[in-house]
A and B are shown apart, each in its own frame.
Chain A
Amino acid sequence: MTIPSSTPAQPDAPPTLFERLEPLLAKVSKPIQYVGGELNSVSKEWSDVDVRWCLMYPDAYEVGLPNQGVAILYEILNERDWILAERTYAVWADMEALMREHQVPQFTLDSHRPVRAFDVFGLSFATELGYTNMLNALDLADIPVHARDRREDDPIVLAGGHAAFNPEPIADFIDAAVLGDGEEITLKISEVIREWKVEGRPGGRDALLMRLAAGGNVYVPKFYDVDYLADGRIQRVAPNRSGVPFRIAKHTLMDLDAWPYPKKPLVPLAETVHERYSVEIFRGCTRGCRFCQAGMITRPVRERSIDTIGAMVQGGIEATGLEEVGLLSLSSADHSEIADVTKQLADRYEGTNVSLSLPSTRVDAFNIDLANELSRNGRRSGLTFAPEGGSDRMRKVINKMVDEDDLIRTVAAAYSNGWRQVKLYFMCGLPTETDEDVLAIADLARRVIATGRQASGKRDIRCTVSIGGFIPKPHTPFQWAAQLDHETTDVRLAKLRDAIRSDRQYGKAIGFRYHDGKPGVVEGLLSRGDRRVGKIIEAVWRDGGRFDGWSEHFSYERWMRCSEEALAGTGVDVSWYTTREREYSEVLPWDHLDSGLDRDWLWEDWQDALDEVEVEDCRWTPCFDCGVCPQLDTSIQIGPTGRSLLPIAAVTQGVTVS
């Protein structure tokens, strides 16, 4: 890193918008979500820094604030004395109306500065359903929604998060996208911006984007052209200038122990969806569930050591005052030292009000031991497992390697250890699925209750079956698969519901939760869409579409109406994007974006799925050549370290009379 000898001339600090905002706050619901000032929030002097980020999680404050990705970047950026990072979230309709009426632009919560004044406007997309909220935020910020219309002093609009692995549907609206882990790349981007500013912004905005693109880790959509075949498929995606790579690679953070973030996450005054301190105990997953985009795009597995986890939990509790601690990962029980981690943390916090949770998803008797360890004080209400597929056949297709007898044994162990409720997650609409596969869920639930009653000797145990619709995602073996249409999804789920309800012996002990299939169609359209889908997103937003992840705000009718208008003349429609199976030779909209996974390996895995052939986990068996490690020059980083946590002194109670 080069340190510039002189700092560039600073623009005047934009005035705070708070005085203009304050009168509006008395008129909106839950005004606290717009005032900031949370515990651990940071407010820096504008002129003290060289590079300024505005970070957005494009959903309501209550959903966005707990987001782990934004929390990490907020801390890492603000730790640098030459960078400031502030946050903004999607405003609700009542606030939006007042902001438009009183010409108050989209603002940050930390210092109530206008979003347009920042160098970078970075959005983290955990889901595609935040796209309309991005357009609304841009518009409220007085930033042109189309990248091509942006002026020299507009921020660089940058997308990240899992949805950014196929940013093509928002290619017209973003200036750039980054794939993968954000910790290092945001700092690298900051350095590039600082250099460019120090040099006097030579070549303007495009030259800056060019510098970012040339590094190979930042995708600038406008430097690439997409050509289409007469039948609507993509012919090719290629750079339209020299100096940018044909493929853009994801960024992978190695050595998570060196990056123990978030250390001091924000603690809001307002109520949010998660009120806990979360430690990511490892990143990545190689279980190889074929539907799971997160598992595919976050490889390889990189563990945090037991010492780092212990230190983060201790520091996080002190810094936040939270009492709930979540040990997060894609499959938490797979940590090489998970038994020691849970036991030693449970020892450390025994007798305090700190509670630990391990959102574990695998069906494995070992998980019951862990769950028992974490519930020593007797709170054994519910356990959740995700078999995902109802039949053994289905689970072979999706590579979720657990057979029915294993599952029943696990559940029996749970009930006999005093757990009263078991929740089971499944998907409907998986490739090759038939009615029988879905009805097998009912049989499974019946066996669970029968076994549970026997194991616990009680009748009042419950099993809840939750079902989500399967959506094929980019960079997975199912990226070529047809999504099931929502009519068939709904019919199958209705049959399953009837099968469960009509069961006199067990029906009342089985809860059934599902959503209708329509929102999944829109998510599918956005997940595997190409640049033509951008017109739909824009039309939906202009028609009033916001907060698409909220069922009370989502309008299927609007999405379909806008799709029909926006896709007129293209020869393709919504079902072309969703329920159509793709062939090997078809150029997929995200083929030029490199998640490290070898395309041929993905295809073979797709063929294996159709043949009901399973694939092992490379942590315990030889490498099966998914391609990630050699392609990205990374490797698996797992323990065990063999180290132990020392007991910590009880919380110092400096307020007592000794």
Chain B
Amino acid sequence: MIRIIIALCMFVITGVNLAAAEELTIAAASDLNFAFREIMTEYEKASGNHVRLALGSSGNFYAQIQNGAPFDLYFSADIAYPRKLGEAGLTLPGSLYQYAVGRIVLWTGNESHIDVTQGFETLREPTVKKIAIANPKHAPYGRAAVAAMEYFKVYDQVKDKLILGENISQAAQFIESGACDIGIIALSLAVAPVMKSKGTYWEIPADAHPPIEQGAVILMGGKNQESAKAFLSFIQGAEGQTIMKRYGFVVPSPR
């Protein structure tokens, strides 16, 4: 028995060692879900480096990074999180980069027969039973969704219909699958090919909610600051910007 155990341990310890050290590990807000899959493919082709992408809600990553998560780069849907990490001395000074101002949309599936161009009034209709948003507790897009509903004075009437996704991708999946009738999701998800063919969306006016300023930052806890810098400049370069713009990630020029 003992011999079996020892043999098993040796096999496992020596045999399967997967994590290579030179890889770039990125924590990214879920609104980057589809855009980053494209960017990563292009970047890996151009640089030969492998990127490990973790997607989730910005607030969750913020908590994880504070607890020592070994990410090299953090793309947050709310620039306040990387700023706070900077104040705590967890980021590379001067590396904070605002990559976009996020936009939100009302999205509904093709089968739902809801006319989203009516805007927020449709949320009140009795046929609309479930509305998906991201959890406003830790997802910036969820907070923007609540703010927009308050702006259009429908929040109090519809708050019992709200279904909270753990992040904005899950909220999108809830409506895409038909489990929710309508939802408020990121524009970047609505324009992604998989979503675009399956539903219609209505852009929520930008002044209906505080701007979703989005920021990326290089983290001190990561191991590969050089490749993190390289990835950031790839995003800022022509190739990266072409993809980012296609998914609606732009910083509007001041008017």
Tell me if chain B binds chain A. no
